[in-house]
């Protein structure tokens, strides 16, 4: 596992809808790959249907990870807007 660990990640209904459409053996493999990548950034070694499912989910997960990292950075005082 990588040293980037999160306690949560976004899992979209579209991921689940795609996973439900493949054979059960691939469902488990794809689900575990998505969870490991979402929590630990572990890139899985997959092939076939499981790889296709993971590759379809990965761009969303990467975009959300960037948002997560940006949210952790301290805000520049000049960039903070007064919402009063």
For 51-72, the pLDDT digits (tens) are 999 999 999 999 999 998 888 7
Q: Per-residue confidence at 6, pLDDT binned at 50, 70, 90?
A: confident
CA 4/CA 22 separation, integer angstroms = 30
Alpha-carbon distances of 56 from 42, 50, 71, 78, 79, rounded to whole Å: 16, 10, 24, 38, 34
For 21-33, the pLDDT digits (tens) are 999 999 999 999 9
For the whole model, what pTM was predicted?
0.79
């Amino acid at each position: 596992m990588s040293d980037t660990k999160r306690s949560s990640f976004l899992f979209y209904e579209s991921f689940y809808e795609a996973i439900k459409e493949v054979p059960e053996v691939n469902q488990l493999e794809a689900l575990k790959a998505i969870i490991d990548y979402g929590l630990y950034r572990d890139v899985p070694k997959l092939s076939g249907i499981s790889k296709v499912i993971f590759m379809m989910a990965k761009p969303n997960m990467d975009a959300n990870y960037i948002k997560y990292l940006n949210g952790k950075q301290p805000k520049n005082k000049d960039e903070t807007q007064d919402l009063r």
